[in-house]
Structure 1
Amino acid sequence: MEIVVRPLTKSDWNSVSKIYQEGINTGIATFETKVPNWQQWDAKYVSVCRLVALVKTSVVGFAVLSPVSKRHVYKGVAEVSVYVSKAFKGNHIGETLLKKLIEESEASGFWTLQASIFSENIASINLHLKCGFRVIGIREKVGQLNGKWYDNHFLERRSSKID
Structure 2
Amino acid sequence: MEIVTINKDHFSEIAEIYKQGLETGHATFETSVPVWESWDKSKLKHSRFAAAIDNTVVGWAALSAVSDRCVYGGVAEVSIYISNDYKGKGIGKALMLKLIEESEANGIWTLQSGMFPENEATVALHKSSGFRIIGYREKIGKLGNIWRDTIMMERRSKTVGIN
Stretches of 4+ aligned residues off by more than 6 angstroms: none
* Deviation by residue 1:47-88 (Cα, 9 ceiling, x = unmatched): 110000011211000000000000001000000000000010
Identity among equivalent pairs (%): 48
Aligned residue for 2:101? Answer: 103
Q: How does 1:21-100 map to 2 (within 5 A)?
A: 21-100=19-98
Unaligned runs of 5+ in 1: none
What amino acid is the match of 1:63? A
Q: Aligned partners of 1:104, 1:56: CA distance in 2, in Å?
A: 24
**What RMSD over aligned residues (CA atoms) do the two structures have, in Å?**
0.5
SS, match of residue 45 in structure 2? coil
SS, match of residue 59 in structure 1? strand
Unaligned runs of 5+ in 2: none
Q: Aligned partners of 2:42, 2:55: CA distance in 1, in Å?
A: 26
1:89, distance to aligned residue in structure 2 (A):
0.4
1:45, distance to aligned residue in structure 2 (A):
0.6
Pair 1:140 & 2:138 matched: yes
1:32, distance to aligned residue in structure 2 (A):
0.6
1:6, distance to aligned residue in structure 2 (A):
1.0
After TM superposition, the score normalised by the length of structure 2 is 0.98
What amino acid is the match of 1:159? S
SS, match of residue 85 in structure 2? helix
Aligned residue for 1:114? Answer: 112
Assess if the C-alpha contact under 8 Å between 1:19 and 1:84 holds in 2.
yes
What amino acid is the match of 2:102? E
Pair 1:17 & 2:26 matched: no
* Deviation by residue 1:83-111 (Cα, 9 ceiling, x = unmatched): 00001001010010001000000000000
Assess if the C-alpha contact under 8 Å between 1:133 and 1:155 holds in 2.
yes
What amino acid is the match of 1:136? I
